[in-house]
């Protein structure tokens, strides 16, 4: 959410043009007032939190509204919406009166949103940007259940607001692991429809699947033929980070530039492989490609469904092969995994004592630190 609630002062018939931009910025209008007198008579704020005042200036004397707000509500930024006919002297007066930002109206696309972002930097209120944890598996390894349970542990046991997202043109896999009905056509609908991609559109597409956990699935009705535009994909990821504290991004293995570009945006990249020898060598190839690009975040190597009695490579051998400090093994707990998948719920809901959960917990502690005290 935008950290300031917005109070509008200006012509009532102009406020509708402001509402859409504020919604895209996840900002809510707390009050609407025709002029300063109406504001003083009708605005009764609850709490002492600063507000952002959006003031529509039509006449030179409207500058007094900006000055009055700057003097009587210190610490609350004022964005002045200024008619383009105003000359340089008038703009100077508005700025000197106390406006944090001047936006000419009608504004160009993106201009008001840019001003709202600058206000946050001016007043030390950085916009919300959730941590991005990308999960990517080597070929022939399905890490869907792993991604679901990683996100579930972050949201449930660590109590961090989390979005589990699957931005792919392929058939979505995450929804099949969760007994839920998505609100929309998923990430691919957002990526391919002609309308502009906005913050409000992303928020509406998220489906709650648990406390503090929401889902943005991949295509739900078949394999999509249209490849997402890379710039639009990057924007979708960026917007998703603005609506939560953590994004677990399940990145299907295509081993192409699009996949590596997506992984490069993440603070943490969780590489999921298996203990079988072919899977380990695929894991090395994948890990070495990411290391060569030098653009990905911190890499965390995982052996999923690990069983020390099944042969293949153990974590120590994988550490030596990949020259990494740690390899995380998540236990193969067949009864727990099967019960969880068949019920369409995360492991903790069906098998809270599963050995796999303890292993996942150690990985999450490495990513986010220890869980909050009970």
For 61-76, the pLDDT digits (tens) are: 889 999 999 998 888 9
DSSP state of 213: E
Whole-structure pTM value: 0.73
Residue 333: inside a domain, yes or no?
Answer: yes
Tell me the per-residue pLDDT of 196-225, one tens digit each, with 9 for 90 and over: 888 778 888 898 998 899 999 887 665 555
Identify the band that residue 183 occupies on the pLDDT scale cut at 50, 70 and 90.
Answer: low
Residue 299: inside a domain, yes or no?
Answer: yes
R_g (Cα) of the chain, nearest Å: 25
Domain range enclosing 97: 5-122
**Percent residues over pLDDT 90 in the chain:** 52
Predicted pLDDT of residue 64: 92
CATH number at residue 186: 3.40.50.300
Q: How far apart are CA 127 and CA 109, in angstroms?
A: 20
**Do 59 and 206 have their domain in common?**
no
**Do 60 and 138 have their domain in common?**
no
Q: From residue 39, how far is each of 34, 42, 64, 74 by CA, in Å?
A: 8, 5, 13, 16
Predicted pLDDT of residue 324: 94
Structure tokens at 200: 């409000």
CATH number at residue 73: 3.40.50.2300
Tell me the per-residue pLDDT of 252-299, one tens digit each, with 9 for 90 and over: 887 777 788 889 889 999 999 999 999 999 999 999 988 887 666 899
Q: Give the mean pLDDT of 139-165.
A: 94
How much is the mean pLDDT over the chain?
A: 88
**Do 12 and 110 have their domain in common?**
yes
Q: How far apart are CA 180 and CA 187, in angstroms?
A: 16
**Do 99 and 26 have their domain in common?**
yes
Altogether, the residues listed in the chain come to a count of 374
**Do 336 and 201 have their domain in common?**
yes
pLDDT at 89 over 90: no
**Do 118 and 138 have their domain in common?**
no
Q: Which of 122, 157, 174 is the last residue of a domain?
A: 122
Q: Which of 63, 92, 122 is the last residue of a domain?
A: 122
Q: From residue 216, how far is each of 29, 124, 244 by CA, in Å?
A: 27, 31, 12
Domain total of the chain: 2
**Do 62 and 171 have their domain in common?**
no
Query: DSSP for 285-329?
Result: HHHHHHHHHT-S-EEEEEEEEE-TTS-S--HHHHHHHHT-S-EEE
CB within 8 Å of 288: residues ≥ 6 apart: none
Q: Which of 102, 122, 142 is the last residue of a domain?
A: 122
């Amino acid at each position: 959410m935008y950290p300031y609630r917005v109070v509008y002062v200006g012509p009532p018939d102009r406020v509708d043009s402001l509402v859409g931009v504020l919604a895209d910025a996840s900002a809510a209008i707390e009050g609407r007032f025709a002029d300063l007198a109406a504001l003083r008579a009708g605005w009764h704020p609850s709490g002492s939190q600063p507000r952002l005042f959006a003031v529509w200036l039509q006449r030179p004397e409207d500058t007094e509204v900006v000055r009055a707000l700057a003097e009587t509500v210190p610490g609350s930024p004022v964005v002045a919406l200024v008619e383009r006919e105003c000359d340089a002297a008038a703009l100077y007066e508005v700025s000197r009166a106390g406006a944090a930002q001047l936006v000419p109206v009608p504004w160009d696309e993106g201009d008001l949103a840019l001003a709202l972002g600058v206000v946050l930097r001016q007043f030390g209120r950085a916009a919300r940007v959730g941590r991005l944890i990308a999960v990517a598996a080597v070929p022939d390894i399905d890490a869907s259940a792993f991604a679901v349970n990683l996100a579930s542990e972050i949201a449930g046991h660590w109590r961090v607001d989390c979005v589990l997202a699957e931005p792919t043109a392929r058939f979505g896999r995450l929804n099949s692991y969760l007994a839920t009905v998505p609100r929309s056509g998923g990430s691919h609908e957002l990526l391919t429809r002609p309308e502009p991609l906005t913050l409000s559109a992303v928020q509406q597409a998220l489906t709650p699947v648990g406390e503090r956990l929401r889902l943005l699935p991949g295509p739900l009705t078949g394999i999509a033929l249209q490849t997402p535009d890379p710039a639009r994909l990057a924007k979708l990821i960026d917007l998703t980070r603005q609506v939560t504290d953590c994004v677990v991004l399940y990145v299907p293995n295509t081993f192409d530039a699009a996949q590596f570009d997506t992984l490069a945006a993440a603070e943490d990249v969780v590489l999921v492989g298996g203990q079988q020898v072919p899977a380990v060598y695929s894991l090395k190839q994948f890990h070495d490609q990411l290391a060569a690009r030098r653009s990905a975040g911190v890499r965390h190597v995982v052996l999923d469904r690990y069983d020390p009695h099944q042969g293949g490579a153990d974590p120590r051998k994988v550490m030596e092969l990949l020259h990494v400090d740690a390899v995380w093994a998540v236990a193969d707990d067949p009864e727990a995994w099967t019960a969880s998948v068949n019920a369409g719920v995360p492991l903790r809901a069906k098998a809270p004592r599963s050995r796999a959960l303890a292993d996942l917990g150690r990985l999450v502690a490495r990513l986010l630190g220890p869980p909050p005290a009970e």
